[in-house]
Amino acid sequence: LSGTMAISETTLKDAMLMLIEEQNKKGGLLGKKLEAVVVDPASDWPLFAEKARELVSVDKVSAVFGCWTSVSRKSVLPVFEELNSILFYPVQYEGEESQRNVFYTGAAPNQQAIPAVDYLAESEGVERWVLAGTDYVYPRTTNKILEAYLISRGVKPEDIMINYTPFGHSDWQTIVSDIKKFGSAGKKTAVVSTINGDANVPFYKELGNQGVKAEDIPVVAFSVGEEELAGLDTTPLVGHLAAWNYFQSVDNPANAEFIKTWKAFTRNDKRVTNDPMEAHYIGFNMWLKAVEKAGTTDT
């Protein structure tokens, strides 16, 4: 996969290949082996619609598992509606959308963003808020919801700073400096990050460069896991937070087996599991059970 979102999307592609391989070891589905068809829309949002049409009309796939950004999901919606196919979308999103051809297995703001803000306010005593996001629909809608929620909690508008940057943004020096300045007003400040894709690497690197420590200005991220931070010196980042439905550290037998299968499939002990992978697992098993019950993959 290629483009600014490949840093996140590659793990989802590999997770689906693993799930298909594991199901085929059990005999496949309805007496047939499952076959994966992988396409690369290259983080080019209009190309997602073209590739979705190709998958459904040309490759005749039974279901599609994919998309990361909301803008890519919105690009393919008309295709799935027109061709009456189904998409399993595994990433947190902004809500405010319900489409009969899509199964949304990621968190909406009331399940992720609002609980994270509540935690920072109640447990960390945060009074000033930086809402920093990539400039597209998910961060803008989520931050609009968060801004209204914070104001309803009594936060003053002047205690909320909002900043958007393009996909793949790499020069964070001025923005991090502005965050430091905003956080020096004598009130506990936090950053709520909806920054997506490979822009996270230079963002966290610049936090370290400018000495922004979690005890001073904690960052809580909604789209960052171990995969996105691989290769970074994480020493300066200790204490910053992520809010997700699932972490690799979940301690139960089912997760231990999931991690073991993943590491065996990738043949790489350093590859980690994450929240959208777990959502893919849920979506894939939803589809399997539905097909078994219906006796067909027809939609």
Give the mean model confidence (pLDDT) for residues 132-161: 98
pLDDT above 80 for 230: no
How high is the pLDDT of residue 234?
Answer: 85
Name the CA radius of gyration of the chain, rounded.
Answer: 20
Name which residue leads in pLDDT, 225 or 172.
172
Indicate whether 26 and 119 sit together in one domain: no
Is 299 inside a domain boundary? Answer: no
Question: Is residue 182 very low, low, confident or very high in pLDDT (cuts 50, 70, 90)?
Answer: very high
Residue 58 lies in a domain: yes
Q: What is the rounded CA–CA span in Å between residue 113 and residue 221?
A: 9
In this structure, the answer to whether residues 179 and 258 fall within a common structural domain is no
Domain for residue 1, yes or no? no
For residues 111 and 124, what is the distance between their CA atoms, to the nearest angstrom? 19
pLDDT of residue 156: 98
Are 21 and 97 contained in the same domain? yes
Q: What CATH number does the domain containing 34 carry?
A: 3.40.50.2300
**157/197 same-domain check:** yes
Question: Is 119 a member of any domain?
Answer: yes
- Averaged pLDDT of the chain: 96
Residue 157, in any domain of the structure: yes
**One domain for residues 138 and 218:** yes
DSSP state string for 140-167: HHHHHHHHHHHHHTT--GGGEEEEEE-T
- CA–CA gap between residue 84 and residue 196 (Å, rounded): 30
Which pLDDT score is estimated for 235?
A: 87
Mean pLDDT of 244-249: 93
Last residue of a domain, one of 242, 268, 286: 242
- Please tell me whether residue 291 adopts helix, strand or coil conformation: helix
pTM metric for this prediction: 0.91
Is residue 201 pLDDT above 80, yes or no? yes
Q: The domain containing residue 133 runs over which residues? A: 110-242
Q: Is the pLDDT of residue 190 over 80?
A: yes
Q: Does 273 lie in the same domain as 214?
A: no
Bridge partners of residue 102, in order along the sequence: 87
Determine the average pLDDT of the residues in 278-286: 98
Q: Within a domain: residue 230? A: yes
- In this prediction, residues 172-194 reach a mean pLDDT of 98
Cα separation of 92 and 189, whole Å?
A: 24
The tokens for 195 are 């920054």
Is pLDDT of 231 > 90?
no
Averaged pLDDT for residues 213-223: 96
Give the total number of structural domains in the chain. 2
Shared-domain flag, residues 85 and 63: yes
Residues 51 and 122 reside in one and the same domain: no
Residue 229 confidence (pLDDT): 79
Distance separating alpha carbons of residues 129 and 121, to the nearest angstrom: 10
pLDDT at 225: 80
pLDDT of res. 243: 96
Determine the pLDDT at residue 93: 95
Residues 6+ apart with CB under 8 A from 174: none
Q: What is the pLDDT of residue 20?
A: 99
